[in-house]
Amino acid sequence: MQTETITYIIISGIIALLLALFQYAYKAKIKRKRSWLLTTLRFVTLFSIFMLLINPKFDKITYYNEKPNLVIAVDNSESINYLNQSLKANSFINSLKTNEALNDNFNLEFYSFGKGFNLSDSLSFDEKQSNLALVFERLSEVYNSSISPTLLISDGNQTYGNDYAYMTKRYKQPIFPVVLGDTTTYVDVKIQQLNVNRYAYLKNKFPVEVIATYNGNSTVNTQLKITSGTTTVFSKPITFSETITSQIINLTLPANRVGVASYNVQVVPLENEKNRINNTKSFAVEVIDQKTNVAIVSDILHPDLGALKKSIESNEQRKAEILSTIEFLDKSNDFQLVVMYQLTNNFRSLFNEIDKLKLNKIVITGTKTNWSLLNQLQSNYKQQLTNQSEEYQPTLNQNYATFIVDNLNFGEFPPLRAEFGETSFTIPFETILYKTINGTQIDEPLVATFEINDRREALILGEGIWKWRAQVYIDENSFHTFDNFIGKLVQYLSTNKRRTRLNVNYESFYNGNDNLRITAQFFNKNYEFENNSNLNITLKNKNTATEKTIPFVLKNANYEVDLNGLEAGDYTFIVKVNNENISKSGELKILDYNVEHQFLNANVTKLQSLATNSNGKSYFIDNTSTVVNDLLNDSRFTTIQKSTKKVVPLIEWEYLLALIALSLAAEWFMRKYNGLI
């Protein structure tokens, strides 16, 4: 309490006492004993009122006990079922939930994980992937500042994400792995990894790399076979021994027919092999008959050029080449699309060549763009010349109707720098991204597309797009979504097909563990996005002739359907819009492969290393009797008494109001009783 406040309280006490004495000891002629009692009551009333006016603040300290957290993360993937550990896992978890001592000493928090990570009260052991790195990434966001030992109940086999062995550097809690699975070592030959490109080109050969591994002590001979349908397209004998435990087989296969070609790779099982599922893997290649060549033309150096090249070439159907204007003119017939970056004086002849070849183009401007020349060379748009620059952030146009654009959280992207001033169009155009200045969206495009005279063009009004690609990687640990955005723009500009009201986005084939999602957009006759339509997809399995109809769900500016859980096979599908005579059909293939069925054993070594590095301890599921006692007796995990300090103003103390009311009532009663009023 401050000295000033204490001074006010002392003065208030003196004033209250003087007023009370003046009222009953000096002015009123009351007997001495009664006078002192009334003086006391009046003093209490006045002093309490003065205290309310001063309203001093007091420190209120509350003590409480804080129990440590016990975080229990359970592997919910199919491998637990496959290793026959689901009953043991459920039994152990139930014993933790019902243990009174454990609940008295810890706050139990249960989670399950597969490809994702969630709070969980029940387990199904049906997840298609295991991402243990995500477990520690999410837990470190919540529990790093508290005492939270972690029980990891898993087989330790990871099929997705970063290597979890290094996550203890981020997650600062002791980890106690409970190992699910058989630790016995069996003789096993398996296909460890299969590397193959997703696309191939007609009349070419595509490379395939097979990595086969062996677990055993004796020398064995087997054979690697690759079949397509009933035809064997490749065969090679391979030998393993105690010292030769892996073989890398590189080969090429011909691409003779356009479409999706599926193959089956098999290492012939040994006689005494227990797990034969991991001896086989399937893959598919989409054979295409052309490749889009894109020219990125610029006479200046800028990191945007490399970012665009990387994004365009992330799809193997496309090749990008960075050229100067002179280099492009020497080989202009080799390209189907031109990216014109920051036009300078040398671009006059380039424009004439592009017009002569009737090529589509992307024009990207920036601080070094010669807008005077660009305004002269074309009449589709004009830029106000100010000789000043401005930074513009992007905002997605949710009603963009030309092709499907996913929202990449554009509003959080770094700004692009461009010429300050209005960009006016003389032809109809569609805006993909609007300009936003200081959080205010303006009705001007940052990225736009338009069509005129059977040619298509895109305009990007700003430099610094490399920062967008970097931002996507920071957010998602992958360039995929940004590359996909650029890929759709390139795909739209690489063809002159008329746009349709129903657009469906899907892949020709999916691996068995992929997220199988198909997206679609539907537009009205004015090509405005319809967000209240009903879309359905009907899938037919070519092998079984069974059909399944699933509705699409509106998600942001797309309709989306989740087809996870479909069995492997070849499918035809039709997407229809209810109450409209519009539909789209196609074909897709789902490859038969379950990565969770590739394991025979728990990864004991890795889990034990995880426990050691985090100052924890590992256990086997068949020997968990000491887990609870170890946790209860660990001095690191004791209940801690903590205190909270809260500054409370006197006016919030309700008892003071009661004291004032009581003293006034007592004073009134005494005066009334003695005939003083």
Q: Catalogue all structural domains in the chain, each as residue range(s) with its CATH number.
A: 3-63+645-673 (no CATH), 68-183+601-638 (3.40.50.410), 188-285 (2.60.40.10), 292-493 (3.40.50.880), 502-593 (2.60.40.10)
The pLDDT-based confidence of 513 (bands split at 50, 70, 90) is low
Q: Is the pLDDT of residue 35 over 90?
A: no
Q: Average pLDDT, stretch 23-47?
A: 75
Per-residue pLDDT tens over the stretch 290-326: 778 999 999 999 999 999 999 999 888 889 999 999 9
Q: Is the pLDDT of residue 650 over 90?
A: no
Per-residue pLDDT tens over the stretch 354-391: 988 889 999 999 999 999 999 999 989 999 998 898 99
Q: Average pLDDT, stretch 451-479?
A: 91
The pairing of strands 569-577 and 558-562 is: unpaired
Average pLDDT, the chain: 86
pLDDT of 676: 67
3-state helix/strand/coil string of 140-158: HHHHCCCCCCEEEEECCCC
Q: Average pLDDT, stretch 134-147?
A: 89
The pLDDT-based confidence of 221 (bands split at 50, 70, 90) is very high
The pLDDT-based confidence of 128 (bands split at 50, 70, 90) is confident
Per-residue pLDDT tens over the stretch 60-98: 778 777 899 999 999 998 888 878 888 999 999 999 999
pLDDT of 468: 94
Q: Average pLDDT, stretch 652-665?
A: 83
Q: Is the pLDDT of residue 448 over 70?
A: yes
Ranked by mean pLDDT, the top range of 424-433, 519-528, 641-650 is: 424-433
Q: What is the token pair recorded at 270?
A: 């040994």
Ranked by mean pLDDT, the top range of 85-89, 277-281, 465-469, 671-675 is: 465-469
Q: Is the pLDDT of residue 604 over 90?
A: no
Q: What is the token pair recorded at 393?
A: 């952030």
What does the DSSP assignment read for 455-484? Answer: EEEEEEE-B-HHHHHHHHHHHHSSSHHHHH
Rounded to two decimals, the pTM is 0.62
As a whole number of Å, the CA-based R_g of the chain is 37
Q: Is the pLDDT of residue 498 over 80?
A: no
The mean-pLDDT minimum among 419-428, 608-617, 654-663, 665-674 falls in 665-674
Asked if 337 contacts 292 with a C-beta cutoff of 8 angstroms, the reply is yes
Neighbouring residues of 658: CB distance < 8 A, sequence distance ≥ 6: none
Rounded-to-integer distance, Cα 568 and Cα 161, Å: 24
More confident residue, 202 or 574: 574
Q: Is the pLDDT of residue 338 over 90?
A: yes
